[in-house]
Amino acid sequence: QNQNVRAKIRQQLQILRDLGLLDFISPGEYSVRN
């Protein structure tokens, strides 16, 4: 169950990154663009 939640969160983060709203710093580390 927990793995599924993590996978969904990671998927959402990747979508935001692809939209240019997040910067991908390193695996598991993102920063929000101002």
Phi, psi angles (nearest 5°) of residue 4: -65, -40
| Cα separation values, 17 from 1, 2, 6, 32, Å | 25, 23, 16, 9
The model's pTM is 0.60
Q: In tens digits, what is the pLDDT along the chain, a chain of 34 residues? A: 788 999 999 899 899 999 999 988 888 888 998 8
